Structure 1
Amino acid sequence: MRPLAVFDIDGTLVDSRASIFQAATEAARAVGLPDPPYDRVRQIVGLSLHEALRTLEPDLTDAELAEFVTAFQTSFRLMHEAGYEEPLYPGATELLQRLHRDGWRLALATGQSRRGLARNLARTGWAEMFISAHCAEDGPGKPDPAMLLAAMHACDARPEQTGMIGDTGHDIRMALAAGAAPLGVAWGFHTPDEILAAGARSVAQDFAELEAVLAAFAA
């Protein structure tokens, strides 16, 4: 049986840099906070939303944090209700299709909400390609290994058969905690140096290189 490839979504398959930054900015303005710099916002992507915004604004009370979270969710919802859809990175669909065709087990592990995960699973072909999909609302978020362990269980894969592909140190630390191969990509939210510092085995510069990394892992 072919290995299991577990993919993060934001910054790995889907280019959500603009939408996440916009939602964080609009939410901050809605609750009277200063506009957050992009360099701070990119660091929190991948965490569950509460944890992410708590990290972004650690001095908020619980009530203020709840208001901030609601404002972020509202901004994001209105963006998509207006018809916006984050683009896939060039090459993402083709790689997923080839892996699926070649018998790889595929799963998703994301810091998104169930609503966001469902929106992505509605993309053409995704529901058929992924055996399982897991999000932060299912339990502890990244870097806790819970969702990756759930993916391995659902796909009947052992840790040594599993590669976790992501663009942040949160993905890498989750992979290491679960005993899976930590495989980074360079085109998302964290820099290659940040991903390597978290313990990544490699950082692919494009999808062609990622495909080669996965082929070597399978071998």
Structure 2
Amino acid sequence: MYLILFDVDGTLVDSQNTILHGLEVGFAAVGLTMPDRQTALSIVGRSLEEAFLDLVGSAHTDKVPAMAAAYRQSKIARREQGLDLDPLYPGAREAIDRLHRRDELLLGIATGKALRGVRHMLDKHDLHGRFATIQTADTSPSKPHPDMVLQAMAETGVEPGRTLVIGDTGFDMAMAKAAGAQAIGVTWGYHDHSRLVENGADRIIQAFSDLDVALSEILKFDKETI
């Protein structure tokens, strides 16, 4: 059995606009200036408090709880209004369904999102039942700490050498390597190619259509039957 863990933001769904809106709310709540778009998106993948701390620095540590609370409250309110529906990236659903049909594969999620946000994504995109394990910021330290991958392996009984993480950030790659797993970086997310490579990506893909070949090379699958 093999375990394939997907990141969410920047990998399965394009959530940059809703993340930026939440960050803007958080900065406004404490009267601080929002950083530029590239800087703000550089923290995607981190848990919320750690993301805000990365952006404001140690001088404003005391403001982080209020910023995170404002972000969460905004998210909850917008979802109740039917907003914040982050679209799946092209090919994501097809890849998930195709891999889910393989008897030798288990799929999972490892994300800096809260479980509430993951459930919202699964509900809106009708993806329930595909993932054997879901690891979130509610129960694990922030990426790149390896705990999410370690917990997923413990839950599924899959060893590190048969586990692979797919993500768009250096945090995902570093998390996978720290857990002894392999990693595929995707270029359509929020970190550039160099950060993925620097943090240990075994392969880099440009689109979900490239995933089958990458998996066949790393996990020795027959790509014709993926």
TM-score (norm 1): 0.94
* CA shift for structure 1 position 143: 0.6
Q: SS at 1:6's partner residue? A: strand
For 1:54 and 1:169, the matched residues in 2 are separated by 18
Equivalent positions of 1:110-149 (< 5 A) are: 110-149=111-150
Give the counterpart letter for 1:127 in structure 2: H
Where do 5+ consecutive residues of structure 2 fail to align?
A: 221-226
Matches within 5 A, 1:195-214: 195-214=196-215
Please, what is the CA RMSD of the aligned residues? 1.4
Work out whether 1:50 is the aligned partner of 2:45.
no
Query: 1:47 aligns to what SS in structure 2?
Result: coil
Offset at residue 61 of structure 1 (A): 4.2
Deviations 1:95-140 (A, max 9, x none): 0000011222100000001211221232454221100101011121
Q: Aligned residues: percent identity?
A: 38
Q: Unmatched 5+ residue regions in structure 1? A: none
What per-residue deviation string (whole Å, max 9, x for no partner) do you get for residues 63-95 of structure 1?
Answer: 411111111112222222221211111100000
Whole-angstrom distance in 2 between the partners of 1:194 and 1:218: 23
For residues 166 and 126 of structure 2, what CA distance do their matches in structure 1 show?
Answer: 19
Greater shift, 110-119 or 177-186, is seen at 110-119
Match of 1:94 in 2: 94
Pair 217,125 (structure 1): closer, same or farther in 2 beyond 3 Å? farther
Task: State yes or no: 1:12 paired with 2:44.
Answer: no
Does the aligned pair in 2 maintain the 1:54–1:60 contact within 8 Å? Answer: no
Equivalent AA in structure 2 for residue 40 of structure 1:
T
CA distance in 1, matches of 2:197, 2:143: 17
Partners of 1:161 and 1:126 in 2: CA distance: 24
Shift of 1:62: 4.3
Asked if structure 2 preserves the Cα contact closer than 8 Å seen for 1:6 and 1:164, the reply is: yes
Deviation track 1:162-194 (CA, whole Å, cap 9, x = no partner) reads: 110000000000000000001100001101111
User: CA separation in 2, counterparts of 1:181 and 1:9?
Assistant: 17
- Say if 1:164 and 1:172, in contact at 8 Å, map to a contact too: yes
Report if aligned partners of 1:28, 1:36 keep a CA contact under 8 Å in 2: no
CA distance, structure 1, for counterparts of residue 18 and residue 124 of structure 2: 17
Contact 2:185 2:203 in 1 (8 A): yes
After TM superposition, the score normalised by the length of structure 2 is 0.92
Structure 2: distance between partners of 1:155 and 1:123: 26
